[in-house]
Amino acid sequence: MISKDLLEYQEVDGELRKIEQEISSSEERKKFLQAKKFMESAGEKLEAQDKHACDLKAFSEKLKAEYEEIDRAISEYSELDEMVENGGDIGFYKKNVQSLIDRLRYLKSEIQKLTENIESATEEFRKMKKQTIAMQKQYKEYNEKFKEVKNGRSKEVAEITARLEGIAKRIPPEILAHYKAKRKEKIYPVVAPLKNDRCICGMDFPLAQQEALSGGRVVECEHCHRIIYKE
């Protein structure tokens, strides 16, 4: 059976819940959590940027090694006239030179891509650094402001909590524990009367469930899990 004490407890608890919701929806809390979330993920973002920088460096070294290889190959043709005079196959030399030209074109294209990637990574790092500085400032500022919001309601919260503790003494511990467990699940009101054969959430109660409410008994709504009683 639902006691008047439990209903009174829930009514006073509703006052506390309202304050909690007002604090939770405050702009100070939103700004604080926004900065906190950014700061928590900043490490992963910086790690990803660092890895990207390492990849670019490795690719740069690869292109440098390839350029040096082509440079060495080109130097072999510094005395081409003499090589031809000594019976070298000019067709073979032309084929090799064309291959070197193709490799140089490819290398030029890759260097252009690398340059663009480095510029993009540099700009991304600048933005990240700027945003990190701004969020560090916001975190510090709104952490203090959020504390002020909570402290500004602390007297009200303390008064309501004292009233709840007084009412709680008149409620069996197991019933109060069950109520508090539901409250932690963000269910409110926890206890509600059946109205027009329906739960407060709108779910219809079949006749068998309505009969289960007879004699002051209670049932749990299968949909919203509230404790339902019949007035």
pLDDT at 77: 61
**For residue 34, is pLDDT > 60?**
yes
pTM (whole model) above 0.75: no
Q: Rounded distance, CA 187 to CA 220, Å?
A: 12
Q: Does residue 102 carry a pLDDT above 90?
A: no
Q: How far is CA 177 from CA 4, 159, 168, 180, 182, in A?
A: 17, 21, 10, 5, 9
For residue 67 the two structure tokens come to: 């350029």
Return the pLDDT at 89. Answer: 62
Cα 36 from Cα 116, distance rounded (Å):
33
Give me 181's structure tokens: 């467990």
Average pLDDT, the chain: 88
Ordered by where they begin, the domains of the chain are: 4-159 (1.10.287), 172-229 (no CATH)
Q: Which residue has the tokens 């130097």?
A: 75
Q: What is the pLDDT of residues 125-182, one digit of tens each?
A: 889 889 999 999 999 999 999 999 999 999 999 999 999 999 999 999 999 999 999 9
